[in-house]
Every structure is written in C-alpha cells, then in structure tokens.
Chains A and B, each alone.
Chain A
C-alpha cells in the first residue's frame, strides 16, 4: 500500500463514519478498519487501547450528562417528545463509536507505516511541493517545541523552580515554563533561519529530497482497500436509511 492509498482509505472511513447514523452502520465501518489493521499486521491492541483512551473520558462525561441528567436524546428534545434514557444512551454510543472509529483508523494508518521515516512518508504523498514543505516545516516546529520544553524543564528543574514529580511548586511556576518554552523556541528558530538555512540553502535541499521520494500515486492494493472502505460506508448509510 502507498501512503496516498492509506490517506485515501482513512479519509473514506472518516467520511463513512460521519455519515453513518446508527451503531450497526458504525460497526460495519469499524469492521472494515479492523480488516485493514489485521492485514497490515500492525499492533492492533495498541491502536485499540490508544483509541479507547481517547474516547473513554468523553463516553463517561456524555453518559453522565445525556443519560444521567438530561435523560433524553437530542432528536427527542427537538421533537418535543418525552424521550427515554435508552435513546439517550444510543445517542451517546453513536457519537463515541464514531470518534473511536476515526481514532482507530488514523492510528492504524500510521502504524502501517511505522517503519517509514516522516520525510519518506511525506515525500511519497501526492501533494504539491509547497504543501509537502509546509508539512515538513510543521513537523519541524512541533519537534522544536518539544525540544524547547525539554530545555526549559532542564533550566527550571536545575534552578529548583520546578520539580520532576507533581508539586505545588510546578503549578505556581507553570507560567514561567510556558514563557521559557516560547523564548527558547524563538531562539532556536532564529538560530537556524539566521545562520544555517541561508548559507546552506537548506530548504532547497529539502525540496530536492522530497522530490526524490516521489513514488506511484496509487497501487492496485490501494484501490482494493478504498473499495472496501466505500462498501463499508455504503452499508453504514443503508442501515441508517
């Protein structure tokens, strides 16, 4: 499978999950994603656990609000019906399962390419050069922020302003950490853009590297998985109607 195929498959699943309006339809789409996960031989339990970790807090909160407090589904409220807690529970299940399907599919698609470096993955995407460069620069900024967080923590822990473990001191000085992180990000970015990038023409090199990475836009396997995602989405729609 190509990265383009994985992105297309993921987008189709996401659209299908957004259009499906009941639990049965979402389960069909989830089954299509699970097939992809199994065929990819990726760490399916890790993907399930990660997705559940995202959805569970929302499930708990929505259950308390809609099932426990409101006791009716939104469409029942709109129609002025008395409603029931079971309808509210179904409403919560649909919302949370939809989020679960999306999170799971995105995670599985990334795990499928776990052996690829970010640059290789982005380079293989069928996107304009500028869009690819923007993606790389976005990842670069994220990494820079993470690096700055590490630096700022080193500074503040070394000075005794914060500690490694949770403490009131950390809460009190949290804003200093934020300020230090941003000052550090600015320093790092200025250091690169003032000296290294202009004299090396580093961004031009990046462009060349990304161009060299271009591969086939879509493979036959991609079309197979996209067909499965489309079929899942169609079945999801059918059970809704």
Chain B
C-alpha cells in the first residue's frame, strides 16, 4: 500500500489521481458519495453487479450484510456505509489497483482497521492500493506501507483558525430530547424512545458504528427530519424545528455541499441574513463574516462555493457554527480531509466556543482529534442515545 502524505493543498489528490491514471483502469473512491459510487445504479444490488467480475480476483471484503441493503438507493446509505459499499464492489471486481482519497476517514474504528488491513495485503490479494489519508500516520499495524511525502504550502486557501471563535459570552440554552423515535420509510428503527439532555457550554461527541444514526440525530435537531414520536425542548420550552424552522443550531454538514444556500459566498450570506434578521437573530455585519471567512481560508466574498477545493469547502462550512448566531454548533465529521495542524487548530476553536457558553455537538471517528477537546461522549446504538 502506498500512502500519499502531506499537508493540505500539497497536491495529494492530484498525485493520487496521477498514480491511478498510470495504472488505469483502476478503482477510485473519492472523498464524497459522487466520487465513491458509480452513480449508475438505482439500488445497492445494481451497484454491486456493475463491478462484479465473472471470476473473483481478490478475497471479498464484506464488512456489512449488503444483502440486507440490496433494495436501498446507494445515496440513502450513510457516508461510511457508502465507502464500505465501494470497497465491497472493488473486492468483487477485476481491478488490480485502487485509489482512496481520504474516504477511509469516514469509517468507524473497527471498519477502518478492517479496510486498512485489507488494502495493505498487496501481495496476498494482488491489490495495489494508493491512499491519501490524514490519519494513516497513526496506523502502526499496517505493514509494508510506503509513504510518499508531498511538500508544499497552502497558499491561496491557507487558514488561520486561531482567529476564529473569539465570541462574547452568551446566555446558555439547554436542549432536552425526550422519547425520540425515528425510522426512515421502510427501514429499521434508528431511534426508539431515546432521550438525552445537552447542557450549554459543553461539547458532545456523537459516536457509533457507521449507519448507527449519528447524522440522523443532527438532522432531527436541525429540523431537516421530523421524528415519528418524542419531543425536543429548548430551555424547557417545546421546540419543533421541523415545523417552525431551525433556530438553535449552526449546522456544518459532513459533505459541505449539503449546506450552501447560494452560488457565491456573498449570496449565501445575504440569503441567510434576510431570514435570520427577520427572525430576530443577531447576525454579524458582512465585514465580520468576511473576516471570519478569510480566517477559514476564503478571502473573496465573490468566491464561487462549488468551485472551491474540497478541503477549502469543508473549512468554509464551519463559518456559521463559528459566527455565533445560533447558541449551538453542529459539526458533522469536521476533520474530513483536514491535516493534523488544521485538526489541532479546529479543536482549539471548538474549545473557545464552549468556553463562551455555546454548546457544540460534533461527530468524529478521529480519537486523536476528540482527545484534544474536553467533551462528553454520546453513543448511539440500538436506537438509544447514551
């Protein structure tokens, strides 16, 4: 297995693609769904069929019971499950080489270890694996890994996270979830009579295996999904964001492209401002938001959001959680694609946020990152939050 290491914007993704092109055709798993799955299949069963070779070339990698997922639409799987599905498809295919660009960072510890061990069996499995992964330097059980170090500076999109989240203290807002039940149509119970209380000024880390319902919990709190039963309270008052809209959480989604409200940064800010000010939120002036965006690495308000490199998009997705408009910040896998220095600086910013009385809920499989933040763990398993 070949690891392409280096800081952000050092050209790791380009180097990985160049290595894959040398070995083309080669399987590719990009950092997000559109580049992890083929996009040609309406069901998981079809996705597998597209790649299945008449004769097995490698040992099958089957971390999940994909037969149980056969009729599901691939985009409805969680981020981690999509990566596992892609790895399963590769294992059934006749490709000799595979490139994985940061996607393994989305896997829970057990699945990540299984995937790394599988990909590292070059000789036994006849696999040439090339990966870009910000956490691979901490994997000491992977033997025979060659490291190609990329060195260059961030340049245009360099960020300064030391300059963010210096916010005045704000009134605490407690969130209480009681008797929460939820299931996707035709799916299993994600939550069954689950309850939790989130105290302000604290950081909560959601953990659980891939597909447990971590992102679903955030979507329920933000009003993107409506629970089948149960209630949420904000300081003891009923809060139903699925009816009245989100007024508690600055939400940074796992895939940053799930949160833009405009084509450019200026457009995104203007649209959010018009709604937030109408609902009596105190939104910082454009100059302050522009300064915050600059700290996150984007220096032009006219920057087209969809044209940004993925790492820069991910960083910019933290703008609203760190703007201090909402009393709580939600960060779904904030470290995806981020190098060690950025992860450390992000942990510092989250600590400053909680120090000012804001609440933070974050999802990460990165224990090293989580250990840098004083947090309370919340584990989602078997329909409960504990």
Query: Chain A residues in contact with chain B, CB under 8 A?
Result: 117-120, 136-137, 139-140, 143-144, 147, 150-151, 153-165, 169, 173, 176, 179-180, 183-184, 186-189, 191-192, 195-206, 209, 212
Contacts and interface: CB of A to CB of B under 8 A. Distances in A.
B253 interface: yes
Contact of A199 (B26, B222, B262): B26
Contact of B261 (A159, A187, A188, A196): A159
Contacts, number: 171
Do most interface residues of chain A lie in helix, strand or loop, or is the interface mixed? Answer: helix
A22 B96 CA distance: 63
Contact of A192 (B35, B247, B260, B271): B35
B50 A160 contact: no
B275 A159 contact: yes
Nearest to A164: B242
Nearest to B94: A205
B333 to A, nearest CB: 15
Interface of B: 17, 20-21, 24-28, 30, 32-36, 38-43, 45-46, 49-52, 54, 70, 73, 75, 93, 95, 99, 219, 222-226, 242-247, 249, 251, 253, 255, 257-263, 271-272, 275-276, 279, 306, 320
A118 B40 CA distance: 10
Contact of A136 (B40, B93, B255, B272): B40
A150 B54 CA distance: 35
Nearest to A209: B50
Nearest to A137: B40
Contacts of A151: 255, 257-258
A187 B262 CA distance: 13
Nearest to A118: B42
A155 B313 CA distance: 14
A164 B50 contact: no
A173 B245 CA distance: 14
Contacts of A180: 260-261
21 contacts: A119-B46, A119-B50, A136-B40, A137-B40, A150-B75, A151-B257, A151-B258, A153-B224, A155-B261, A158-B222, A158-B224, A158-B246, A169-B275, A183-B260, A187-B34, A192-B39, A199-B28, A200-B25, A202-B40, A205-B51, A205-B93
